[in-house]
Each structure stands twice: as C-alpha cells, then as structure tokens.
Amino acid sequence: MHLFAAIAVHPADKIALKETQYQVTYGDLPMAISMRARQLGDYRRVAMMMNNSIEWVLWDLAALFSGIALVPLPPFFTKEQREHALQSSGCEAIITPEGIIPLPYSVIEIPQSTAKITFTSGTTGTPKGVCLSQDAMENVAHSIVTVLGKDMAGTHMCVLPLSVLLENVAGVYATLIAGGTVHLQQLESFGENYTNLHSVMLDSKATSAILVPEILRILMAQVVELGPLPTLKYIAVGGSKVSPDLIKGARILGLPVFEGYGLSECASVISLNSPEHDHIGTAGIILPHITCHIKDGEIIIQNTGFLGYVGEEAPSFIVTGDLGHIDAEGFLNITGRKKNILITSYGRNVSPEWVEAELLAQPEIAQAVVYGDAQPHLSAYIVPTSQHADIPTALARVNAYLPDYAQIKEFQPTPPFSPKDGTLTGTGRPRRSLIFQLYQKENAHDII
C-alpha cells in the first residue's frame, strides 16, 4: 500500500505528526496536505529550507501529492552550495518559515516523474542532485515496514535533519505507512552536540530513531550517566562505517541498535538488520524490492527508481563504489570502498582530493593527505614548505570557506612523501594506506 492510501485507512483519531505543543491526526492530515498543495499552485519545482517540524513534513507531503519536484536543502550546506543546488535544479520558488518565495532561476529539463531532488553533502563542494521518483521512495518505506512489521511502529523520533533522505524516507514515510506517530523537534532543541538527546527521547517515549555512529556514541554516554531508555524498540544506525564493538556496547546499555546500509541513488536504505534477522558486523538483509549482485567485488544494485543526476540520464544499474559480498545467510557484508571517498561518523561524504587541493593552494603547505573515515571530523598529514611555515594560519584560511564537515580540525606534520619510501606512486599520487600505517594520530595538532 502506498503512502497516501495508507494514510487514508489509519484511524482518524490516531496522532500522525507531533511536536511539543502541536499535533496532527491521521484524520486531519489529508486536509492539511491539500491546503498547502493549493498554495503551491502551478509551480513545477520548489526548494525547501526549514528546520525539522510538522510544517516541513506537511509541505513535503503537499509537494509529493501535487506532483511537484521538491529540493530539500540540508542545514549543513554553505551559502554557495545552496545557490548551486537551487540554480542547477532550476527551482522556481523556495518554501521557508516566512512563506513561499519566488526565485529567479529558469526551470530546466528533468525526468518527468521526478518527485524529489536530493543533494548529498557534496564530496567535492558542488554536490550533484539525485532525481528520485515517488515510487522509488515509497518502495523503500514499504519494504522497511515489511521487514520490521507494523507492530514496530510506535513513536518515531526524528533526530537527523529531515532534508537527509534517510530520515525523510526511512523515518517519516515508513512510520506514516505503518500508522505510527512521527515526533518532531527543531534540531536546536537537542542542544549543542545533542546534549539533550536523552531527555528528549525519554520525554517523548520514543520507540524508534535513526542515528549516525557519532550521535549513537553521544547517546550511549548519556545512557551511562542518566539511565536507560526503556521505550526504545529499534535504533537504525548507518550513514558511515559502524564498528561491531559500538553496536555490542550499545546493546549492553539496553539500546536496540541495528546496522543498515544505503545510498541516495537508491532512495536511502538498501539493507538492514532487524530483530528477526540480525548479524552484527554486517549491513543486514537486502530489502525485498531490491536486486543486488556483486561484480568484481563491487556491490551493484539494479535501478529501482533512480532517474539520474540533474542533467544526466539514468543508468540501468547503480554502481555503488562499495566493495563487499553477500554471505550464505543472505547478509550483506561491506568490506571497503573502491574510491577514496571519506564518510565521517556524522554521515557526511567528502572527497579527500577536494580538500587536499585547497590545502595545497596555501604557500605554507607542500604536501597534504586528508583522512577521517568514520571519525567525527577530518584531519590531515601535512608536509610544510619550510620549518617556519605557519600551518595553523594556513588551515584557518582554508577552513574559512570550506563547509564545516570538510574542515580540517587536526593536523600532523610529517616528513616529505616520496616514491623512494613508497609513500607516493611513480606519478606522484599518495599511497594512502601506507601513509596511514607510517604516521599515527598521537602527535596531531588540534586546530579547533
């Protein structure tokens, strides 16, 4: 059953969307969606820049209901990245807390059935827009409900930004299909670095949430200090590498954590562990609507609704760039990545070559290798141009115009990289694995 059909059959008095002082029942939801759909009028493509709220969800559903392509803007984008997203996708207007504001951009051609254009964190500073159909997103949400069961739907607490596809589809859409309640909080209400996450979860009696590894670590520390969260039944964790020890530690604390795996091109989730099918250290079982195979060690997904990047045609198969295998029990195992893309523990994707190019533009820096996979922030091994080079000042200049997730927070001075010691290839490319083995983080200099 698709999203709007599911909404129509849930009990009218059941709460669908809830904030601290405001709620919308399933019975009131269709009228709230229709009212906003009328306000969208004849627009064909609109962006949205709002905090997590009931209004965000209602405008999102109104655009989906009206067949208008929506471009959600992540809060971690820089001004330049937002402008790039608006212009490259041809948005005619933007939905803000102040209302719908017309934009001067010309509408460009995109696939006719595009329901959402999602821009990820931008591995090279200018992120690509992923065009997705309504079917693609609904299939993921429906598969999640099938795997977990409708009984799992209670109160889902939205912790990640709604502009992140994982929260939007796997959190909101799946909960509404299952007949649960989506609890929404402005992101600031969690406190700086999620210091209030435990109290918000406790007060809302949340039964499910989606977290990235770094936020899970924060919650675990709060559980140790403040006590258990007894209402939680399911916490999905993904967006970055997840240590099996992290999941084991969380479960010892009573947190029902399960790892999953996904891509924006697949409308978020591809596989997940569940209480019924669970193997710590794997990314779980492939969702029922997805066909996955391994070619030369790389995970390949048959296209299930990815309509292509803005300005590009859709492929028949989605080449994930991730290496892995499916074991005899059907669990997907991720063993590495084909490319050098780093994924921080906050789930932000970053190309190290992008940041390295910015570092090498500084006169104080001769060579640089950026690292930080599965870490909360990026760090760099840096070869100064001289013994008197002011590296902190150079990094401050670079960080001033990089988005926060791509900024260098720590650095470690190193001797020059060279083909002679094997740290460079014959063509001058860094041999990252060897560099990481040779130089450890113990002597890193803090920039924060």
pLDDT digits (tens, 9 = 90+) for 392-431: 999 999 999 899 999 999 999 999 998 778 888 765 778 8
Q: In which residue ranges of the chain is CATH 3.30.300.30 found?
A: 351-446
- Token pair of 112, please? 């006719």
* pTM for this model (two decimals): 0.85
CATH architecture for the domain at 351-446 = 2-Layer Sandwich (3.30)
pLDDT, mean of residues 337-364: 88
**CATH topology for the 3-337 domain:** Rossmann fold (3.40.50)
pLDDT score recorded for residue 447: 56
- Token pair 């080079």: residue: 389
pLDDT digits (tens, 9 = 90+) for 213-242: 889 999 999 999 999 999 999 999 988 778
Give, for 411, the enclosing helix (H) or strand (E): strand 408-413
Q: In which residue ranges of the chain is CATH 3.40.50.12780 found?
A: 3-337
pLDDT score recorded for residue 214: 85
Q: Which residues contact 315 (CB under 8 A, 6 or more apart)?
A: 303, 306, 308
- Token pair of 345, please? 């523990």
185-209: b or e for each residue (b if 16 or more CB lie within 10 Å)?
Answer: bebeebeeebebbbebbbebebbbb
What CA–CA distance (Å, rounded) separates 359 from 355? 6
Is residue 24 a contact partner of residue 54, using CB atoms and an 8 Å limit? yes
Q: Which residues contact 325 (CB under 8 A, 6 or more apart)?
A: 294, 297, 332, 333, 335
What CA–CA distance (Å, rounded) separates 258 from 251? 9
**What share of the chain has pLDDT > 90, as a percent?**
75
pLDDT digits (tens, 9 = 90+) for 242-253: 888 899 999 999
Specify whether the backbone of 421 is left (phi greater than 0), alpha (psi in -120 to 50) or beta. alpha
Handedness of CA 212, 218, 222, 223 (dihedral sign): positive
Which DSSP state fits 314? Answer: P
- Whether the predicted pLDDT of 444 surpasses 80: no
- Percentage helix, strand, coil for the chain under 3-state DSSP, each rounded to 5: 35, 25, 40
Is residue 182 a contact partner of residue 51, using CB atoms and an 8 Å limit? no
The amino acid sitting at 312 is E
What CA–CA distance (Å, rounded) separates 238 from 283? 9
pLDDT score recorded for residue 229: 98
